[in-house]
Structure 1
Amino acid sequence: MKVPLSWLAEYVKLPPTKQLTDRLTMIGHLLDKELEVNGETVIDLELRGNRADLFGIVGIAREVSAAFETSLIAPKTVSLPRIDSKSPLITVNENAFDLVSRFTALKLSVKIKPSPAWMRKRLEAYGVPAINNVIDITNYVMLETAQPIHAFDYGLLRGGHLTLRRAKSGEIFHTIQQGTNIKLSSNDLVISDDEKAQTLMMIGGFYSGVNEKTEETLIEAAIYNQGSCRRTARRLKIATDAGTRQEKNLDPYGVGYALERAVYLLKELADAKVTSETSDYFPNPPKQTEIEFDENDIFRLGGVVVPGKEVVKMLNNLEFKTEAVSDRVLKVTVPTFRTDVEGIADLVEEIVRIYGYESIPLTPLTDQTPEPDTYPSYSIGEKLRDLLTGMGINEVVTLSMVANELAPGGIPLVNPPDPNFGNLRTKISPSLINYAQRLLNANQQRVSIFEIGKIFQKTIPKPVSKGDSFSDIEGYGESLHLGIAMAGKNEEKNWNNQPRDFNIYDLKGILDRLAILLGVDKLNYEIGQAGSVFWIEINVEELMKNISQFSPLYRVISAFPPIIEDINIVSMALPYEQLVAKIRKVSPLIANVCLVDKFNQKLTLRITYHSDKRQLSTQDIEPIRKQLQDLNRVGK
């Protein structure tokens, strides 16, 4: 999200830029980069997708206001005309009820002219070109409030009203971008007049845009189904600022606020006069979220104690309303624009990030650092990689989402990131064959590659019971497979050899060698040839059942378990053996010293405290720990 600082400063007092960006980063809005655009300082923030309110300058201003405890200056607005219960400007067809939750529109007479310099400068600093005052105002308000707004030339709308409906299969839509033709499906929502589709959820149409001849405009703001908007945008490959925002969980009550702001600016900059009442489709207004919040949950979930007065102050600064229910218990009313806050954990996050993550006390572990734990197939995967690369075969990684032509019988994705890659693979070999062929086409003489990756398959759904995995319940499963592909010559040509073409026996030789190294009598595999590419595919999870597991020997050392902890120490000008001896002299309870990590001149040592006579406690080792800390200070 690009934020021109002079624009932001209109709503909140700003500290120096470095202090501002550091504080924003600490409360969760990372600085991506700082730009200079036509002499204007612009900060580009990396925002979380669940914070729909921050995709507007006013939302950023609210965060700055809360972080620095300064006042927020709200943009000027005017009230909308009363709502016409008949909503003559809009109709929502029954087949589109699930695709739109609010749609509000009204008409105004306007005078088209260039926007003032200050508005053009701000839009250009963000990266939006100025066109004319009416279109610029809709873009300006969207960037200001995060709520997209669209303006039509009312005189170009056949029938004088808009209908929200699902597109007809194969219906053609002409975008505002040079009238590009797009073929729609029945899953797409269109906003049409009596003749044709005039706009989509994320982009306007070619035939009803505001132009220099426009005398009356219809402006609208809406909240659409997020998933539908995203799927349509991805399938049609349309990326717009409006679409980016409509894919977020926008505030339905922000529709009215954005239109009030737009009408104010239209009156100021386009001599606008309202010529209709407000048409508003809003069948299910959501209730404002209320949460009973126990302040003790801050320590339980966040690990920090925050005074009660500070809790109320921070929540109020974030525009949450609070009401005391009992001692340390509040009823918190969430502002409608905070659609990401749903429960107690969300409130704890809000308080801790404003209070400061750096305020969470550091509590050292009193035990050894946990060893990393991996799933069973990880070890066999690593072993296979070592063995195959040792045989001169190179590892490649391909996508589990494959091109449609490579996935006959594949598992179709509901919302693929790319319509051309809309299936999960059911075999690994087609991807490898395609990769090998690409290498041959690039004049690679020797192709010898392998991949270890997931494949997916349909399973028979079973009744839900405790312990079932998601894939079992839904009727889909996944498993780990190994694929190997070979093509071209068996070795690079030089003065002393005569390379030959790879053949199926080369692959079988690899299999025989692999079986010996894995300690199995036989490998179950699928083998084949596609053109000049020879390939093999093995189910790794089936292979794991045939590999004997290693069971380490062990012995009981003592009836009393040791206490183990890791410490950091500055490396002294001593050989390591002398350093260990010096540490052991601190106490007879130090049974072992082991180096587990080294960074620059700092060593991480694992200390084992043990007694054969009794169980040690933290009180026993606390004096030893202090002596080790003194030793460390002397070492510095």
Structure 2
Amino acid sequence: MTISYNWLSEYLPQTIAPEELSKILTSIGLEVESMEKYESIKGGLKGLVIGEVLTCEQHPNADKLKKTTVNIGGNEPLQIVCGASNVATGQKVVVAPVGTTIYPTSGEPITMKVAKIRGVESYGMICAEDEIGIGESHSGIMILRNDAQPGTPAFEYFNTYNDVIYEIGLTPNRMDAMSHIGVAKDVCAYLSYHKGQEIKPVLPYNNELIPDNLDLPISVTIENEEACQRYAGVSISNVQVKPSPEWLQNRLKAIGIRAINNIVDITNFILHETGQPLHAFDADAITGNQVIIKNLPQGTPFITLDGKERKLNAADLMICNAQTGMCIAGVFGGAESGVKESTTNIFLESAWFNPVSIRKTSFTHGLRTDAATRFEKGVDISNTVNVLKRAALLIKELAGGSISSDVVDVYPHPQPKTIVTLTYSFLKKLSGKQYSPTEVKTILTALGFEVVLENEIELTLAVPFSKPDISLPADIVEEIVRIDGLDNIAIPTAITISPAIETIGFKEALKDKLAQYLTGLGFIEIMTNSITNSSYFNEATLAHTVKMINNLSADLNVMRPSMLETGLEAIGYNLNRKNNNLRFFEFGKTYFTSELGHYKEEEHLCLYATGQTGEDEWNGKGKAFDFFDVKGFVAAVLTTAGIKHISFDKKESENSISLNVFSGKNNVGTVSYLLPKQLKQFDIKQPVCFADISFDKLIQAVQAKKIAYEEVSRFPSVQRDLSIIVNKRVTYADVQNVVNKLKLQKLTNMRLFDVFESDKLGIGKKSFAISFTFMDEEKTLTDKEIEAAVNKIIQVLEKDLEAEIRKQ
């Protein structure tokens, strides 16, 4: 929230220095994240003065330069060399004396120094408007009115606007502080409590709004009373749409809002003054002089102020005339009914719209406006008419015209105030501080709470409508502690706690171990959103997907059933920024449902690889990531986790070439080479390999493994190599399975080191070269024992896989 010091000070009955005000705001929970000076003209024209050209002569050594003397109100005039063609005797000008820093419209600041120009000394500069940041013109020096007095500071002559701007970090519940008056109320409550006297904010409301005539009556009907619980309006005729006065433009520009015209600027001013959004309609566009608040049919086209056509949802609340929609209620105005330069009659709206309805409409259409932000947090329903009258009188003052109707206020079901009971014992328990009943009532009444009932034990309060977030005793405690000052809560000298028992230490330790290992392999950890877009998935998947009831946007509407899609979003984002060689890993969860109320979540470790394994070097090009690289990474991760018996098997998949990963007989994940049709959805044009390890199953497998120490063997191992010819359909995993069935105790390892394919081997054939390692823990193996084991391997390969042993 952006707050102007000058603007805020208008509602405070006493002046507070900017630094002191910053401390108060932070103390009461309105944390000042930044505090910066604002100048309508950069540099504030400091050091610049008004001067009068006393003499103007030709420079003795330059045809295009003039030697002048200028009176700037001092004892002696300044000699200044000027290159402007329009400088002349008797002119009133802006002068930058020596030592003054000027801030040009473009370029860096310049500090004036004594200069010798073509042999003549110059003690300053006569300025053009672009040289001091006032405008863009550089056609000549600025020539001021004749009544300008030499020696007058330029910032006084041009009436520059200076301010201090606070950026306040509001928590989402603090709707009441989303305005200058709301912040002023908090500051006054703080002062009232700490100074021991009642200090109230200076409010600008004037309820004496008397119609000038009744020439423009407009009726209001609320058809959807749940979404619109109060609607007020008034007509103003014969207004003149024009630029706002300078004071109003300065107020808005200081907090970052562009001035448009007096009508729009007033609605923006009132929004940031009171927190109540307003909307001004061109009254001539209100067909039938009727305003109807209702819902239109699903898919109804509507053109908004930005010129875009949007298809309405049946749940979107609309402000309509007798024939069509004019405005998406509380969110965005329509192109046809908005205020234009030709507008002469307006209908001014002030309303209360249901926060849930506004939030849904705002996110559905992607319209995050200031008005929607206020309405979705809840505005003060009791202040609707006060703000309307304040705005109408301001429009009459700045845009002329006449109030041409009575104030229409449709409030079908007046809302009761929320009642909350606070016990003093609960206040002490939660705040850690003993407050007296008098202190409590002083703070709460200063904040607008009404005491309904009180006794020695508790206090029953009516909550002001301006604080819709307060409904619990804990909320009241927060208000008391805030206004007392968060720094005033004493810190105890000792804290008594019971030590917690760590129940997830093993899981977190394993995560950390694997993360460290993957980082060492060059992987970067990513964290993606667990909420994703339903359009990524088919109907079969969506049938078991957890859908968001109150989704943040149309693109974020389901809990992810798969880790792949959010990871591909991250890859696509990096590829679009020329970061082409990527190794990512992520720990995350997926979510499923079988029926309403029955939900399940699973934890995963996923690896993503794309691009090259390394950059191109002078001695060779980098190798592209392939399926086997990621397969190797997965095997290494499982081995690091302590799992020995790892195997892979084919998996049928529509969008990828995939293998299932097994730990023993348990499927713990998959390794996939993604096909272009899936990558196209994310605009990825280079191959991506993906591994998905079920972290839950990995934990189970690791915990089931018994840790045992094995002495390093004293006896040597022996290697034997075999080259076999098999059918192309046979995989190395098939070979492993066949050999493992023999359960040869002396066989400690087998490794594939070459694959060869050629028509010379036979049609549909390929060759595997495999190294077998044998070892006996108790003695040195003999050639006879090794040959017997190798023969068993050869026999089973020939029998089960129809393998042919290649002879060297």
CA–CA distance in structure 1, aligned partners of residues 260 and 577 of structure 2: 47
1:526 to 665, 670, 681: 670
CA–CA distance in structure 1, aligned partners of residues 341 and 524 of structure 2: 62
Q: Report Cα offsets for 1:247-286 as digits up to 9, x if no partner.
A: 2111211212211222332444444544334433323322
Q: Report Cα offsets for 1:521-551 as digits up to 9, x if no partner.
A: 4152123221333322121112222222899
1:185 aligns with 2:185: no
1:395 aligns with 2:488: no
- Alignment CA distance shift 1:429-1:156 (3 Å): closer
Report if aligned partners of 2:280, 2:349 keep a CA contact under 8 Å in 1: yes
What SS class does the counterpart of residue 702 from structure 2 fall into?
Answer: coil
Report if aligned partners of 2:241, 2:344 keep a CA contact under 8 Å in 1: no
CA–CA distance in structure 1, aligned partners of residues 258 and 579 of structure 2: 47
Listed as ranges, the matches of 1:183-582 within 5 Å are 183-200=311-328, 201-322=330-451, 325-365=454-494, 370=499, 373=502, 375=504, 377-408=507-538, 409-410=541-542, 411=545, 412-433=547-568, 435-436=570-571, 447-461=582-596, 474-492=597-615, 494=617, 500-520=623-643, 521=645, 522=663, 524-531=668-675, 532-548=687-703
1:446 offset after TM fit, Å?
5.1
1:491 offset after TM fit, Å?
4.9
1:9 aligns with 2:132: no
- Alignment CA distance shift 1:132-1:439 (3 Å): closer
Identify which range, 369-378 or 329-338, moves more after superposition.
369-378
Identify which range, 23-32 or 320-329, moves more after superposition.
320-329
What SS class does the counterpart of residue 288 from structure 2 fall into?
Answer: coil
Identify which range, 391-400 or 431-440, moves more after superposition.
431-440
Report if aligned partners of 1:450, 1:485 keep a CA contact under 8 Å in 2: yes
1:170 aligns with 2:299: yes
Report if aligned partners of 1:445, 1:492 keep a CA contact under 8 Å in 2: no
The aligned amino acid for 2:22 is T
Q: Report Cα offsets for 1:122-170 as digits up to 9, x if no partner.
A: 2332333344443333222222111111111212211211222223333
Q: Percent identity?
A: 28
What SS class does the counterpart of residue 228 from structure 1 fall into?
Answer: helix
Aligned to 2:101: none
TM-score (norm 2): 0.61
- Alignment CA distance shift 1:347-1:483 (3 Å): same
Q: Report Cα offsets for 1:52-109 as digits up to 9, x if no partner.
A: 2222211111111111223321213125689x9xx9622233xx44422222223233
What SS class does the counterpart of residue 546 from structure 1 fall into?
Answer: helix
1:301 offset after TM fit, Å?
0.9
The aligned amino acid for 2:554 is P
Q: How many residues end up aligned between the 2 structures?
A: 534
Contiguous gaps of at least 5 residues in structure 1: 462-473, 553-636
Aligned to 2:656: none
Report if aligned partners of 1:229, 1:246 keep a CA contact under 8 Å in 2: yes
1:16 offset after TM fit, Å?
0.6
- Alignment CA distance shift 1:31-1:438 (3 Å): closer
CA–CA distance in structure 1, aligned partners of residues 576 and 269 of structure 2: 50
Contiguous gaps of at least 5 residues in structure 2: 41-161, 193-198, 646-662, 676-686, 708-808
**Larger RCO, structure (CA 8 Å, separation 6 or more):** 1
- Alignment CA distance shift 1:478-1:260 (3 Å): same
CA–CA distance in structure 1, aligned partners of residues 204 and 575 of structure 2: 62
2:280 to 138, 151, 162: 151
The aligned amino acid for 1:453 is G
1:28 aligns with 2:29: yes
Aligned to 1:57: 180
Root-mean-square deviation (CA), in Å? 3.2
CA–CA distance in structure 2, aligned partners of residues 132 and 514 of structure 1: 64
Report if aligned partners of 1:407, 1:423 keep a CA contact under 8 Å in 2: no
What SS class does the counterpart of residue 332 from structure 2 fall into?
Answer: coil
Aligned to 2:164: 41
Report if aligned partners of 1:304, 1:359 keep a CA contact under 8 Å in 2: no
What SS class does the counterpart of residue 524 from structure 1 fall into?
Answer: strand
TM-score (norm 1): 0.76
Aligned to 2:240: 112
The aligned amino acid for 2:324 is K
- Alignment CA distance shift 1:280-1:372 (3 Å): farther
1:483 offset after TM fit, Å?
1.4
Report if aligned partners of 1:432, 1:484 keep a CA contact under 8 Å in 2: no
1:374 offset after TM fit, Å?
6.8
Q: Report Cα offsets for 1:490-532 as digits up to 9, x if no partner.
A: 5555567786554434333333333333233415212322133
What SS class does the counterpart of residue 184 from structure 2 fall into?
Answer: helix
CA–CA distance in structure 1, aligned partners of residues 338 and 582 of structure 2: 55
The aligned amino acid for 1:300 is K
1:447 offset after TM fit, Å?
4.1
1:415 offset after TM fit, Å?
4.2
The aligned amino acid for 1:8 is L
Q: Report Cα offsets for 1:449-508 as digits up to 9, x if no partner.
A: 3221111112345xxxxxxxxxxxx23322211112334445555567786554434333
Aligned to 2:63: none
Report if aligned partners of 1:400, 1:425 keep a CA contact under 8 Å in 2: yes
CA–CA distance in structure 1, aligned partners of residues 258 and 498 of structure 2: 55
CA–CA distance in structure 2, aligned partners of residues 299 and 79 of structure 1: 45
Q: Report Cα offsets for 1:221-254 as digits up to 9, x if no partner.
A: 1112223322322332323221221121112112
What SS class does the counterpart of residue 545 from structure 1 fall into?
Answer: helix
CA–CA distance in structure 2, aligned partners of residues 475 and 503 of structure 1: 39
1:46 offset after TM fit, Å?
1.9
Aligned to 1:100: 228
CA–CA distance in structure 2, aligned partners of residues 284 and 542 of structure 1: 57
The aligned amino acid for 1:90 is V
Report if aligned partners of 1:89, 1:161 keep a CA contact under 8 Å in 2: yes
Identify which range, 105-114 or 479-488, moves more after superposition.
105-114
Report if aligned partners of 2:241, 2:342 keep a CA contact under 8 Å in 1: no
1:24 offset after TM fit, Å?
0.5
- Alignment CA distance shift 1:337-1:387 (3 Å): same
Aligned to 2:156: none
- Alignment CA distance shift 1:369-1:551 (3 Å): farther
